[in-house]
Structure 1
Amino acid sequence: MTPSDAPDNRRSDGSESRRSDSADSRGSDPADSRWSDLDRPPLNAAALRRALLRPGGLWTSLKVVASTGSTNTDLARRADALEEGAILVAEEQSAGRGRLDRQWTAPPRSGLFFSVLLKPAEVPVERWGWLPLLAGVATAAAVARAAGVDTALKWPNDLLVTVGGEERKAGGILAERAGRDGIVIGLGINVTLRAGELPVPAAGSLALAGAASTDRDTLLRAVLRSLEGWYTDWRAAGGDPAACRLQETYAAGCATLGRRVRAELPGDRTISGEAVAIDGDGRLVLATADGVQEPVGAGDIVHLRPA
């Protein structure tokens, strides 16, 4: 049985059995014991459910699994059978993916690796492209508040922290269409990774950025509550990013704006220029040396150092 096929463990009255909570949060292998790594205890699935699942709220189910390939893949596979607001969290991912199909790996319990299922039927599909940016705003605000670290966003969906005076990527967001009417938003945040565990030199973690708290239960609750608030306002505004202040808030927290950047686009095309704005479609607008303002909707952005 794959993690995505496992039973939800919620009874019809919304409660969960004590046995399922234990299996969710700790697994059955002795190596997954709560005491196998005192610096990295497992998430408390029962407490997370009590804190996040409530009548009338966005979040409708929450499952924590010890390990899986990709929470996005698992949740997308069952999108049509699940209610909006399903949450799948993994203590470890063996095939996590970032943008451009880049691999995302980290030691077990060293971060937050989770996906949520959204079904914004009342919002025009052409505005769904704002959802990964919305998730970035919600995550950056929650992490700054709960962990006590300065955060910024690199367009479109990287979470940046400062380690040793340098910008480092500590998190990423991946949005994918799922089923008939859904979209899965996957988030990965490096929480307690040590310097020797970083996958690439440009990576960072909340711990390395001097976080006041690295309690993953607290962080996950904060991110999901922030995401619920922003999503509710965005949906109520019909997805209009200006009406719900998403566009201006993203721009205010975007480290890419005002910088010289190189956009590496599909088809081996590149554009260099100053990032001057986020337009109404969530695209990054570059002012090139030719005096042209060109919007970029997809691609890899490289922050260039000042000359």
Structure 2
Amino acid sequence: MDKKQCTVEELICDDSFLAFYEKTDPAAIRYWSEFSRENPDQIEKIEEAIRMLDGFRVHLPEAEFLEEQHRFKQSLYHKVSTKTTRFRYRWWSWTAAASIILVLGFFIAYTIKSVDGVGTDNDIAAQKQVSAWQEVNVEFGKLKKINFPDGSSVVLAGGSTLRYPQVFRKDSVVVELQGEGHFAIQRNIERLFTVRTAFTDIQVLGTNFLVEEKGDAQHQISLFSGKISLPHPHSADRTILSPGDKAIVHRSGTITVSSFSNLYSSDFVKGVLAFDKADFEEVQLKFKRYYGIILRHEGTVQNWELTGRYENMTAEDVLNTICHIKGKKYRKTADNHYVLY
């Protein structure tokens, strides 16, 4: 089935979409997250499908929900002859009618339950509140701390975006990060906390860790305390990180784990600029996030590796130090634009 051409009714019967909705399959979660980012014109349809599933789930017991879902799926994919245009028209008309009847059935069931005190206006308001999301965007050159409803927090680097639910569910919560952030998650054995990035889902119970970008194709996750687990792209296995471990997660989903020094675990939240064997692409990215500066290099960049820690220093002070180490010079070409040569 072409995901771009499918209807909302077909979407809520798609096995991979249901796994994405139920958050039971990391591969499905990654697929639909990437699908949404790559096809913004499909987001409205996806959100409508989620709202429909939410409505079914909220107002029906689990067994009834699964039974109705199965009946709907059977009716939607019922084999009807499509040899002529007339039959095709009838099939789509019948499908639309079946969808309307099903939705009306849910509405009637909800109305009846409302009379008994279930599914009241307060329930509807609560459900809307649970499904509401907050989005925070941080300017380049700034840091911003976000406090979550459960007492957890994150410090975001400049140019980062975080989406998180306004109200946390009791059993699980998912936040979405684009960019870099230092997370301090309160331990709660009854709630699974997941940080979703472009490349992976980081699952935690209670921990302190840092997510950084290493160019366009890699993320680095450094763990300071607690434990986190990362999914493998092609199996049900997971990689478990312990304090002092850092994982490089590639765009393909492959994971490389090594150790790091935990001496400067608070550098990020203090706004300290630190590099550990960084290539020039990473240096560019850090300068943009920390100072709002666009940094370029004339000519090819080969065998570039930088290690250093820069605290309470201006961008030009850091550039002077880097140029001294690398035997380079720099010039300012425009506001917030610098070139190394």
TM category (shorter chain) comes to under 0.3
Q: Which structure is richer in relative contact order (CA contacts within 8 A, separation 6 or more)? A: 1
What TM-score do you get using the length of structure 1 for normalisation?
Answer: 0.27
**Relative to total residues, which structure has the larger helix share, 1 or 2?**
2
What TM-score do you get using the length of structure 2 for normalisation?
Answer: 0.25
